[in-house]
Amino acid sequence: MEEEIWLDLLNSDWHDYRGTGKHEDRLDDPQWVKEFFKRWAIDLNAISEEKVRASLRALRAVISRIAKQAAAGKKLGPKALEGLNPVFVHSPLTRRLDLETGRLQIMLVPVAGKLESALGEIAGSFAEALARGAPSRIKICKNKDCFWVFYDRSKNKSRKWCEGATCGNLMKVRRFREKHRKSQT
C-alpha cells in the first residue's frame, strides 16, 4: 500500500488497537521524528528538535480536524480549510540529488533550512488527497480502540479497517467469539 506523508504524521498519535488503552505520541520520540524526515527525504538538520516537534503537533492538529470531518462525511467548506492554507504561504522547497542511502534519490530541502517548507510539503500532500475529489476516501478505522487514519483505495470505498492483518482480523475474531459466547448461553 502506498503511504503518504500526511498519513504518517497523523498516525504518529498511536493508540493500541488491541484495546489495552496504551497511547503513544511518537512526536515525543526524537528518534521517531528523525526517522520520519529521513523516510520522507526531507532535510531539517539545522532546526531545533523542540521547534520541529511543536510545529508538527500544530500541523497534525489541523490535518486531524479536517480528516475527521472528511471521515464523518461532512462537506469541507472554507472554514474547515482555513488552518491549512496559511501553511503554504512560507513553504518553498528546493530539490537536491543525493546518494546518502547508496542509491540516487531526490531530497526535498527547505529553502534556507526553513521548517515551514517541510510543513508545506506535508500539508501539500494532504491537500492533494483532498483535491483529488475524494475526501470521502479518508477514513478512521472502525475499531473503537485504534483511531488509525487511512486513505481507502478500494474500488467501492468500502474499507472499514486500517489494515487487514491487524484490525480487520482482530474484529473478525471478536465477532466470532461473541457469536460463539451467545450460542453457548
3-state secondary structure of 130: helix
Degrees (nearest 5) of the Cα angle 16, 19, 21? 65
- Predicted local confidence at residue 1, as pLDDT: 34
- Kindly state whether residue 160 falls inside one of the protein's structural domains: no
- Predicted local confidence at residue 12, as pLDDT: 95
- Kindly state whether residue 164 falls inside one of the protein's structural domains: no
Reported as a single tens digit per residue, the pLDDT across 53-82 is: 999 999 999 999 999 999 998 888 888 888
- Kindly state whether residue 140 falls inside one of the protein's structural domains: no
Residue 8 pLDDT greater than 60, yes or no: yes
Q: Which residues pair with 97 in a beta bridge?
A: 106
- Kindly state whether residue 158 falls inside one of the protein's structural domains: no
Reported as a single tens digit per residue, the pLDDT across 87-145 is: 887 777 777 787 776 777 787 776 755 788 889 889 989 988 888 768 888 999 888 88
The pTM of the full predicted model, rounded to 2 decimals, is 0.78
Q: Which domain holds residue 88?
A: 5-135
Q: Which is nearest to 93 in space by CA: 105, 109, 107? A: 109
Q: Is the dihedral of CA 12, 15, 18, 20 positive or negative?
A: positive
As a residue count, the chain comes to 185
Total of domains in the chain: 1
Reported as a single tens digit per residue, the pLDDT across 141-181 is: 888 888 889 888 888 887 777 775 578 766 677 666 777 77
- Kindly state whether residue 170 falls inside one of the protein's structural domains: no
Q: Which three cell numbers stand for residue 88?
A: 503554504
Name the one residue in this structure whose C-alpha cell is 472499514: 160
- Predicted local confidence at residue 2, as pLDDT: 53
- Kindly state whether residue 185 falls inside one of the protein's structural domains: no
- Kindly state whether residue 20 falls inside one of the protein's structural domains: yes
- Kindly state whether residue 71 falls inside one of the protein's structural domains: yes
